[in-house]
Amino acid sequence: MRQNPATERAAERRHLLDLLLAEREGLLSVLDRVLALRGTARLIREAAGADAGFLGERVPGGGTVIRWTDGTRTDALQDLAVDVGRGVGGRALLLGEPVAVQDYVSAPTITHDYDERVRREALGALVAVPVLDRDCPLAVAYAGLHGPGTFGDAAVDAVRRAAEKAVPTLRLADAAAANVDGAVAAERRRMQASLHDSVGAMLFSIGAQVRDLRADLPDNPALAGRLTRIEADVSEASRALREALLALAESSPERALPVELAEHCRSYQTRTGVTCRFVQLGPVAPLDAERTAILVAVAREGLLNAEKHAGASTVIVSLAPDDAGGVQLAVADDGGPAEPAGGTAGTGLGVRMLSARAERLGGRVGLIHDEDGGTTLRVALPAAPVPGP
C-alpha cells in the first residue's frame, strides 16, 4: 500500500537527516585532528620547557610550512615556508636528525634566510626535530626561547615524543595532499584529451577542406592567395595547440576543483585568521561544468556562513565520493550559529538557491546546526549521466 505524500516526504527528510548527521560525524573527526595538531604545538612547548612551540608541515615539492604555533608573541612565523637545508628546520629536515642552536641569528652552523622573521619573534635558542613516519619526514617540530639558551638531550627527546603523537594526523594530511595532486593530474589529462579531440580535429578538417578547394579551383590566382593565407593561419593555430598541450603536460591547471577549493580555504584563513583546511577524502570522478560550479558555490556559501559565526576557531571543507559514483562536499565549523540580520535567516536565501540548483540535477543541500555549537553545510550530487554513442 502506497504511503501518502506527507508520510513519504517525512521519511525522505529523516533519511536526509541521517545522511547529514553521518557526514557531520566524519567531519568532526577531521576537526578533531586539526585541533590535535594545534594542541601538539602546545605539547611541544611544554615538553621542552620552552617559551614557544611550533610545527612545520611538509608540503609537495620539499620543505615545510609552519602551520601551528603556541606561545609566540607575533605572527611572524605563521605560514613561513622553510626550504630543505635552510635555517634550523631545513637543516634538521635535510639531516634527518635534531638540530639546536643557542642563538639563532649568530649561529654559524645554519643559513640565515629567515633571520628577519626570527628577530621579529625575538627568538634566541631554537631546536628543530624532524617528525618521521617509516623513515619518511612528515613535519618538523620546533621549540624556542625568547633569548639565548640551551636545549639539552632530555628536552630534545621530549620534543620528539610530543611530536610523534601527531604522526597519524600528519599522515592524513599527507594523504589528502596526494589526493589533490592526483585530482589535478586527472583534470590535466582530461583537458589535454578534450583539446586534442576537439580543437585538433577541427584544425585538421579545415586544412583538408582548404587543400580540396585548391585542387578544385586550380586556375584562380586571387583565391589561391587567400587559401595560402588560410593554410598559414591553420598551421600557426596547430603549432599553438601543440604548445598548449605540452604546457598542460608540464603544469597543472589552476582551476582544477581541488585546487580551487584549497585556494578558497587559504583565502578564508588569510582574511579571518581562522584555521581553514581542505581535505579530500577519496578520488572523485570527473565532473561537468555545472556540477563543479555548484560545488564551488556551496563551498563559498559555507565559508561565508562560517565567517558570520561567533567563536569559530576551525573550518573544514571536505570533498568525497559516494557509493553510487556521485560526489559530496561539506563545510563544517565549530562556531556558534550566525546571528540573524534584521530578523531574517542570514544565509538562508543563499542555501535555498543552492538547494534549488542541486535539486535540478537530482542532488540535495542541507544545513545542520548543532545545539552545542557548530554548523555543517553539505551538498550531495549524483554522477553525471554518461553520454550515449
**Residue 146 half-sphere exposure toward CB, CA atoms < 13 A:** 10
Percent of the chain, pLDDT > 90?
A: 17
Q: Which of 171-185, 209-223, 251-265 has the highest mean pLDDT?
A: 209-223
- How confident is the model at residue 341, as a pLDDT? 40
Residue 159 forms part of a structural domain: yes
The 10s digit of each residue's pLDDT in 155-196 is 999 988 888 877 765 655 444 444 445 555 555 555 656 665
Inform me whether the pLDDT recorded for 277 exceeds 60: yes
The 10s digit of each residue's pLDDT in 290-302 is 888 889 889 988 8
* Same domain flag for 56 and 135: yes
* Same domain flag for 199 and 110: no
Whichever domain contains 279, its CATH number is 3.30.565.10
CB 366 within 8 A of CB 332: no
* Same domain flag for 88 and 194: no
Structural domains counted in the chain: 3
Average of pLDDT values for 127-151? 88
The 10s digit of each residue's pLDDT in 340-363 is 443 333 345 678 888 888 888 888
* Same domain flag for 96 and 193: no
Residue after which a domain boundary falls, among 199, 225, 250: 250
Residue 23 forms part of a structural domain: no
More confident residue, 147 or 14: 147
* Same domain flag for 278 and 344: yes
* Same domain flag for 277 and 263: yes
* Same domain flag for 224 and 283: no
For the ranges 69-83, 208-222, 336-350, which has the lowest average pLDDT? 336-350
* Same domain flag for 245 and 321: no
Residue 327 forms part of a structural domain: yes
Confidence bin at 258 (pLDDT 50/70/90): confident
Residue after which a domain boundary falls, among 114, 132, 165: 165
Average of pLDDT values for 314-342? 76
pTM, two decimal places: 0.42
- How confident is the model at residue 104, as a pLDDT? 95
Inform me whether the pLDDT recorded for 116 exceeds 90: yes
* Same domain flag for 308 and 370: yes
- How confident is the model at residue 8, as a pLDDT? 63
For the ranges 250-254, 263-267, 314-318, which has the lowest average pLDDT? 250-254
Inform me whether the pLDDT recorded for 368 exceeds 60: yes
Residue 375 forms part of a structural domain: yes
Average of pLDDT values for 58-73? 84
Inform me whether the pLDDT recorded for 244 exceeds 80: no
* Range of the structural domain that residue 212 is part of: 188-250
* Same domain flag for 85 and 62: yes
Average of pLDDT values for 276-294? 83
More confident residue, 71 or 163: 71
Mean pLDDT of the chain: 75
Residue after which a domain boundary falls, among 250, 279, 301: 250
Residue 170 forms part of a structural domain: no
* Same domain flag for 259 and 367: yes
- How confident is the model at residue 132, as a pLDDT? 82
More confident residue, 242 or 140: 140
Residue 131 forms part of a structural domain: yes
Whichever domain contains 64, its CATH number is 3.30.450.40
Inform me whether the pLDDT recorded for 52 exceeds 70: yes
Specify which residues 328 forms β-bridges with.
320, 380
Residue 245 forms part of a structural domain: yes
Residue 389 forms part of a structural domain: no
Q: Which of 59, 133, 139 is nearest to 92 (CA)?
A: 139
* Same domain flag for 79 and 117: yes
